[in-house]
Every structure is written in structure tokens, then in C-alpha cells.
Amino acid sequence: MPGTVKPWHPVGSGTGRGLTYSLGMSKVHASAIVGDDVQLGEGVEIGPFCILTGKVTLGDDVKLISGVSIQGPVEIGAGTVLYPNSAIGFEPQDYKFAPGTPTAGVVIGSDSIIREHVTVHAASNDHTPTKIGSRVMMMVYSHAGHDVTVGDDVIMVNATHLAGHSVVEDRVIMAAGSMLHQFGRIGRQAMTSGCTVLTGDLPPFCLAAGRNEIVGLNLVGMRRSGMSSEEINAVRYAYKTVLRKNPPMPVMKQMLAELGSRSAAVQLIADFIDIAKRPIVPVGGRRVS
């Protein structure tokens, strides 16, 4: 019948219908287009109308629900699920990048969730891919630009946008509509409120809101992660005596280094600020240039 969707076709090792599969049983819907360079782990499911081209490697039990588009080079770790209309590995939105230029592509870790209309763009270089970690949840319309690095256990809520070359460290939560400037960084276990705009670097454990404003600490996230009360109190003391006072950068680095000698968590803040190339987002929303 016209318009009837064709059923699943179980596939194993070998080549069939112009498709190349790795060893193990996988399921590829008859309406999917899977290129010869695509390699599938065991238990992979590729749903209706998915299109995979170039060198794409899907780990065991990866599931592409429907309408997923992937352009290699792309590697996706075991157990990751991609929802309808997500687009992974397409060329960067960079005027300097000529179409067809070799790229290191995209690497996504294991057990991540990539929801509807998520985009992750390929690297603008041929040696270091755009990276999304393991156990990451990118909700509807989230975007990771070229050369972005996202750590493990990160949650990006609907319409969260990461500009090119930005870095999001482990266990960060970005609320809906948050945006991070190109080359910007968000430190470990930091959190943003809805519609937060960051043009500077947000230190670990901090809570940001509005435009470039630290409004507190992610205390709930710190407790849930299993941090000891001693470490949490050390971060709170560093926040109160250093970050809230917004001292000149050399003074801030010196004060944090001293406190970091007695606390691993504070040392993370000190190290993060010490290597910053962009302004640090301040407590109280002082202008970031």
C-alpha cells in the first residue's frame, strides 16, 4: 500500500543491501539509509528514516528512534539513545570552515540521552573531535557547537546552547534557555538558572542567573554528589571570603591558592580560575567585558 512504513529487518554480520555491519545482531528499519562505512555494535536499533553517512561507529545497544541524521566521523558509545530529528556530526557553523574540509567529527559517550532536534556539530579541526561525555542528557533543541567539550553526567535542559570551543565540566546542570559564549567555560557541578547568559567563565560549584551573575552556590548538587560536609563548608568559606568580595584577579588567585591547600574542592576552583582566558563571572553581576 502507498504510504505504508516497511517493517524492521534483522541484520547480522556481513554485507547486505549495500550496508556494512559489524558482528552481532542489530535491527535496521527498511526505510533507513546506512552507508558502507557505518559499523554497528551488538543490539543496535536504527529506526525509520534515519540517515547515516561517512565513518560512523555505534556502540552496543545504541538506539536511533527515527529520523536521526548522522554524518561521520562520529562515534557513539554503548547504550546511548537518540530521539527523532536529532542531527549529529554536520559541518561547523564557522565561516572559516570550507565545506568538505576534513574534520575530527564528534564523539559521544555511553548511556547518554539525545532528545528531539538536538544538534551537535563536528569539530573545525582534523585532530580533536567535538566531545559529549557519558550519561549526558541533552533535552529538546539543545545545541553543542563545533569543538565543544561536555563532561560526564551533565544535564542540558531545553534550548540550551553552547557556542564553539566552549567547555562544560562534569555534573553541570544548565536550565532551559541557558547560553554559553564561545570559548567560555562552566566548572564542575556549577548550575545555571533558566535563560542565563554567560559571556565569562563560571567557576565550579557556583549558581548563575540572569546575565553574568553568580547568585550563590549549587549546594543541593554538592550534597547529592556525596561531597563531605567539610568540603562543602570549605567551598562556602571560599565563596564568602573571596568570590563575594570580587578582589583583583592576582589577589583572588593568591587567596584561593591558600585555601585550596586545605581543600580539594576549593583547589578545583583555584585551578579553574588560574587558567582562565576569559573574565570570571562575578558575584552580584558586575559587568564582564
Q: Residue 181 corresponds to which cell in the numbers above? A: 559564549
Q: How many CB atoms lie within 10 A of CB 226?
A: 7
Give me the active site residues, please: 146-147, 164
Are the beta carbons of 185 and 197 closer than 8 angstroms? no
Please measure the distance between the N-terminal and C-terminal CA atoms of the chain and give it in whole angstroms: 62
pTM of the model: 0.91
pLDDT in tens, 206-250: 999 999 999 999 999 999 999 999 999 999 999 999 999 999 999
Helices 249-260 and 229-241: crossing angle, nearest 10°?
160
What pLDDT, on the 0 to 100 scale, is given for residue 16?
43
d(CA 58, CA 127): 20
What pLDDT, on the 0 to 100 scale, is given for residue 21?
39
Q: Which domains does the chain have, with CATH numbers?
A: 8-165 (2.160.10.10)
Are the beta carbons of 186 and 281 closer than 8 angstroms? no
Pick from 55, 120, 277: nearest CA to 183: 277
Q: Residue 204 corresponds to which cell in the numbers above? A: 565550579
pLDDT in tens, 186-202: 999 999 999 999 999 99
